[in-house]
Amino acid sequence: MTEGKLRELCRALNIQITHKNHKGWLVGPCPYAPFLHEFGTDRNPSFNIHVNHEGYSGFKCWTCKQSGNLSKLINKLGDLREENYTKMAVGALMDETPESFEDFDAKDSYMEEVKEITALEATIYLRMYPLATEAPEAVAYLRGRGITRAAAETMDLRYDPDERRVIAPVYDWEGKLYGFNGRTVLEGRDYPSEKYPKVKDYNGLPKNDLLMGEHLAQEDRPTVVVEGLFALLHIIGLGVREYANPVATMGSHLSESQRDRLIDHDATVFMLYDWDVAGRAGLWGEEKEDGTCVGGGALDILKPHLPVYRCLYPEDVEDPDDLDAESLRAMVVGDQNEMG
The pLDDT of residue 4: 87
Closest to 221 measured CA to CA, from 177, 269, 254: 269
The pLDDT of residue 98: 47
The pLDDT of residue 115: 54
Q: What whole-number distance in Å separates Cα of residue 237 and Cα of residue 240?
A: 8
What are 226-232's contacts with CB under 8 Å, separation 24+?
226/272, 226/273, 226/320, 227/251, 227/252, 227/273, 227/274, 227/279, 227/282, 228/199, 229/155, 229/168, 229/181, 229/183, 230/145, 230/147, 230/183, 230/321, 231/272, 231/274, 231/319, 231/320, 231/321, 232/155
CB 292 within 8 A of CB 307: no
Residue range 41-64, pLDDT digits in tens: 887 788 999 888 777 788 988 888
Q: What whole-number distance in Å separates Cα of residue 289 and Cα of residue 324?
A: 34
Task: State whether CATH 3.40.50.720 applies to domain 115-204.
Answer: no
pLDDT (tens digit, 0 to 9) for every residue of the chain, 340 residues total?
888 889 999 999 999 998 887 677 888 999 999 999 878 888 778 899 988 877 778 898 888 888 888 888 998 999 999 999 888 888 887 777 544 444 444 344 444 444 556 666 677 777 888 999 999 999 999 999 999 999 999 999 999 998 899 999 999 888 888 889 999 998 765 555 556 678 888 877 888 889 999 999 998 999 999 999 999 999 999 999 999 999 999 999 999 889 988 988 889 999 999 999 999 999 999 887 777 778 889 999 999 999 999 999 999 999 999 999 999 999 999 999 999 8
- pTM, rounded to two decimals: 0.68
Q: Indicate the CATH number for domain 211-340.
A: 3.40.1360.10
The pLDDT of residue 107: 43
Pick the CATH number of 3-112 from 2.40.50, 3.30.310, 3.90.25, 3.90.580: 3.90.580
Domain boundaries, the chain: 3-112, 115-204, 211-340
How many CA atoms lie less than 13 Å away from 158 in the CB half-sphere? 20
